Structure 1
Amino acid sequence: MPDAMIENSTARAAAHDPYERRTPRPPWRKIAIRLLRLVVGALIGAGVGFGVHHVISPNYGTRYIAVPLPAIPSLPSLRAIPKEPIETKVGEQVVYSNPGSRGEVAFTVTKITLDGKCTEQFASGPENGHYIFVDLTVETSPDIGPGYGTELFNPLNFSLMGPDGVTQTGNALMSNQTSGCLSRGRALPVVLGAGQKYQGTVVLDARTTSGALTLAPLGGGLRNADSWKWRLGETT
């Protein structure tokens, strides 16, 4: 076989030899990749978003690089804002509907007695300075769900903001003395049945007899529920 043909055959075999050693990549490429990683890491730590673009290189084929994207503005908060209490007069009927439950409760504050006097034999004076009696009439619809009494007329659901702007919450308005102040027949039941009418009194132990008295279901824990406010100075 002629020498020229042998040389051509050897060249073609080398071109298709899978075990042929490839030309080593230049060392600057490794250094560039490390620097790119450091820069990308620093930008991510600073809150910069990235997209991925591909670039075709004549020496190394297709490669992918990270390209900074414009920052996306944060969305506004979707937290619910509590409703303001509804200004209510003594003698005005209001209707309460528990969000997510059936039925309604219609009630009226018929009288608010400031510095009320206990009627039970062994009752003692108020711990905070003044007893406030809240007389109510209540009517429940036939389809109310359970828990309306504890959600609505529990003394813990009342609060009193005095003329100095200081609010006394339900925990402070319900002392040991309030439970033994009036007879059970006069106190408003805690549990309300469906399709019933009630008449009773809620006793509060307050530090003042003026300001705004508020009733909020679950102490204001239901963000979409109504609450009501009575001005004590106007409803003696």
Structure 2
Amino acid sequence: MRRFLALAAVLVMTTSAACAQLSRSTDSGNASSEPATNERGNIVKQAGEPAGITNKLKAGKEELTFTLNSLSMTDVCEKNYGSFTDSTKPEHGHFLVLDMSVTTAADLDPMIGGLVLNPNSFSTIGPDGVTETDLATMGTYSCFSDERFPTEGFKSSQKYAGKIVLDTKNKSGVLIYTLGGFEGGWEWAYTV
């Protein structure tokens, strides 16, 4: 047990030190200084605007650029299985569908390559000001399964595209994306 705790402490310190060398950028190629953030510590974006992660050890070089291309909403998700159709309804009220794309650098840092985009990385804030964090349900993984965003880590010199589905009660509000080890994240206001 003592050996396990010592190993866990080393992993946390290593991850924290590595994350200190990474920073968020407002868009591809604009990593010269820390971007402006709002009262929640997030960079405010609009759908279609690129965002990124830079590496201070590589002179602020962009490692990964991602874009929330569009958002849409549906109250049912139908999946065809040849001879029958299965309909899935959201548990919280609505499926918020994110169309995402990612481009990685040629010499992508392995730590950044291990990042993933999935429903667990997102939260919403509704018009009532309440933050909703449990957006991953069984339905979010079955909707658009043929168009789902890749769930494995990223590789160097690659482009990725797909859909991430969230299960939210909020038809409008603020969508927030955060990564473990980062203070703050990115956010988009939405009304669908």
- The bucket for the TM-score relative to the shorter chain is 0.5 to 0.7
Letter aligned with residue 112 of structure 1: L
Partner Cα distance (1:104, 1:194) in 2: 9
Preserved contact between residue 149 and residue 164 of structure 2 (Cα < 8 Å) = yes
> Shift of residue 146 of structure 1?
3.2
Larger radius of gyration: 1
From 35, 46, 60, the counterpart of 1:89? 46
> Shift of residue 83 of structure 1?
6.6
Q: What is the aligned-residue RMSD (CA, Å)?
A: 2.6
Preserved contact between residue 76 and residue 90 of structure 2 (Cα < 8 Å) = no
Partner of residue 188, structure 1: 149
Q: Deviations over 1:49-75 (max 9, x none)?
A: xxxxxxxxxxxxxxxxxxxxxxxxxxx
Partner of residue 222, structure 1: 182
> Shift of residue 115 of structure 1?
2.3
Q: Deviations over 1:86-143 (max 9, x none)?
A: 1100111111236779861111111100226524233410011100000012101111
Letter aligned with residue 162 of structure 2: G
Q: Deviations over 1:129-164 (max 9, x none)?
A: 100000012101111133546635122110100010
Unaligned runs of 5+ in 1: 1-81
Percent of pairs identical after alignment? Answer: 32
**Higher-strand-fraction structure:** 2
Partner of residue 200, structure 1: 162
From 92, 104, 125, the counterpart of 2:63? 104
Are 1:114 and 2:73 matched, yes or no? Answer: yes
TM-score by length of 1: 0.56
Q: Runs of 4 or more off by more than 4 Å in structure 1?
A: 98-103
Q: Deviations over 1:6-29 (max 9, x none)?
A: xxxxxxxxxxxxxxxxxxxxxxxx
Unaligned runs of 5+ in 2: 1-38, 81-85
Are 1:211 and 2:173 matched, yes or no? Answer: yes
* Secondary structure of the structure 2 residue equivalent to 1:211: strand
**Higher-helix-fraction structure:** 1
Letter aligned with residue 227 of structure 1: G
